[in-house]
């Protein structure tokens, strides 16, 4: 099988590297900057000179930052009009529900199978092939992708043939994640104001009512004040909160907690902290409290 991969950020590089583990497959990779392409080429990938070259494949994965990045490369460039069936387009990025719907409709009209497959997990999980993959799209295409998904993730969760449903679930999960980090940040500042070390609170909650990777991972970052390097940038969290709020607005579902977390992330962006980890909400909460 010939596999194309576009978008080699920290997540994309790790995912593409794991796709290379299929001995009989050829993997073509493209990125705006050359260094990640060279890194993957050293592992056995073939560098594509253009996005169009990367699309000369049976299956193409895209892992780009946002709606606009994919729109520019695929639609505004005119590339989409050159694509021909049979082709499976797998979009792994967290995009808006509206854009996912548009892409699914455009692809369907041209006989291209569009599969939304956003992932849950940070770059270390991607490198270890421990991602959770949220997949939705044509059943035969999802079935064909399962061997590839098995190389990059620990489990694939299927949400039917309506591709945007996978994006709705991903936005809901990221909304919940950011909300959990926000409350953890605020609670740490509250207990700290009474002389209780954040590490003590973290040990209590992760050893009792809130075990699990979110409180353990982000709690440790907040307790240690370690916000760089970012596993999940606050700026991307802000993007996702805005997309979740827009998705709610489209179906008249209010997300009042989401509005609060969005404003905290705007605070981080206003203080040039957007490229720090989402855990920087701990610093935002402390600043808001004058601490």
For the domain that residue 146 is a member of, what is the CATH number?
3.40.50.720
> What are 255-286's pLDDT values in tens digits?
999 999 999 999 999 999 999 999 999 999 99
In the prediction, which pLDDT does 14 show? Answer: 97
Residues 179 and 206 in one domain: yes
Dist. CA 113–CA 111, nearest whole Å = 6
Residue at a domain's end among 109, 130, 162: 162
**Sorting pLDDT into bands at 50, 70 and 90, what band is 55?**
very high
Torsions phi, psi for 118 (to 5 deg): -65, 155
Domain co-membership, 26 together with 120: yes
- In whole numbers, what is the pLDDT of the chain averaged over residues? 97
- Domain end (from 136, 162, 188): 162
The boundaries of the domain holding residue 67 are 2-162
Enter the pTM of the model.
Answer: 0.94
Instruction: Say if residue 9 is in the same domain as residue 150.
Output: yes
- Is there a single domain that holds both residue 98 and residue 172? no
Number of domains in the chain: 2
What whole-number percentage of the chain has pLDDT above 70?
A: 100
Q: Could you tell me if 149 and 180 lie in one domain?
A: no
Active site residues: 170
- CATH number for the domain harbouring residue 242: 1.10.1040.10
Q: Which residues contact 13 (CB under 8 A, 6 or more apart)?
A: 36, 39, 40
22 and 153, same domain (yes or no): yes
Say if CB 16 and CB 27 are below 8 A apart: yes
* Pair 59, 115 in one domain: yes
Over the chain, what HEC string results? CEEEEECCCHHHHHHHHHHCCCCCCEEEEECCCHHHHHHHHCCCCEECCCHHHHCCCCEEEECCCCHHHHHHHHHHCCHHHHCCCCCEEEECCCCCHHHHHHHHHHHHHCCCEEEECCEECCHHHHHCCCEEEEEECCHHHHHHHHHHHHHHEEEEEECCCCCHHHHHHHHHHHHHHHHHHHHHHHHHHHHHHCCCCHHHHHHHHHCCCCCCHHHHHHHHHHHHCCCCCCCCEHHHHHHHHHHHHHHHHHCCCCCHHHHHHHHHHHHHHHCCCCCCEHHHHHHHHHHHCCC
Residues 7 and 142 in one domain: yes
CB-CB neighbours of 86 under 10 Å? 10
Residue 290's region, left for phi above 0, alpha for psi from -120 to 50, else beta, is left
Last residue of a domain, which of 162, 184, 216?
A: 162
Co-location of 223 and 119 in the same domain: no
- 133 and 23 within one domain: yes
Task: Write the CB contacts of 147 (distance below 8 Å, at least 6 apart in sequence).
Answer: 22
Give 86-131 pLDDT, tens digit per residue: 999 999 999 999 999 999 999 999 999 999 999 999 999 999 999 9
Question: Tokens 């995009």 correspond to what residue?
Answer: 95
Are residues 65 and 85 part of one domain? Answer: yes
Check whether residue 28 and residue 98 sit in a common domain: yes
pLDDT at residue 22 is higher than 90: no
Residues 138-162: what's their mean pLDDT?
98
Contact 222, 185 (CB under 8 A): yes
């Amino acid at each position: 099988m010939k596999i194309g991969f576009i978008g080699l950020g920290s997540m994309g590089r790790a995912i593409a590297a794991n796709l290379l583990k299929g001995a009989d497959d050829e993997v073509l990779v493209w990125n705006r900057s050359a260094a990640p392409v060279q890194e993957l080429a050293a592992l056995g990938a073939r560098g594509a000179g253009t996005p169009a070259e990367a699309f000369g494949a049976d299956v193409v994965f895209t892992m780009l930052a946002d709606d606009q990045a994919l729109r520019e490369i695929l639609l505004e460039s005119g590339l989409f009009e050159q694509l021909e069936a049979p082709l499976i387009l797998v979009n792994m990025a967290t995009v808006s529900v509206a854009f996912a719907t548009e892409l699914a409709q455009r692809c369907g009209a041209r006989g291209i199978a569009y599969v939304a497959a956003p992932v849950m997990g940070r770059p270390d999980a991607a490198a270890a092939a421990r991602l959770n993959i949220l997949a939705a799209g044509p059943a035969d295409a999802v079935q064909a992708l399962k061997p590839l998904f098995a190389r990059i993730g620990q489990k694939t969760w299927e949400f039917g043939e309506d591709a945007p449903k996978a994006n709705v679930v991903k936005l809901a999960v990221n909304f919940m994640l950011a909300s959990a980090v926000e409350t953890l940040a605020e609670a740490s500042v509250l207990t700290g104001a009474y002389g209780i070390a954040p590490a003590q609170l973290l040990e209590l909650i992760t050893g009792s009512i809130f075990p699990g990777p979110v409180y353990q991972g982000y709690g440790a970052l907040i307790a240690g004040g370690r916000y760089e390097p970012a596993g999940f940038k606050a700026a991307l969290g802000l993007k996702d909160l805005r997309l979740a709020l827009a998705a709610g607005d489209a179906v008249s579902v209010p997300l009042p907690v989401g509005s609060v977390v969005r404003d905290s992330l705007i605070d981080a962006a206003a203080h040039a902290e957007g490229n720090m980890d989402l855990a920087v909400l701990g610093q935002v909460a402390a600043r808001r409290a004058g601490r």
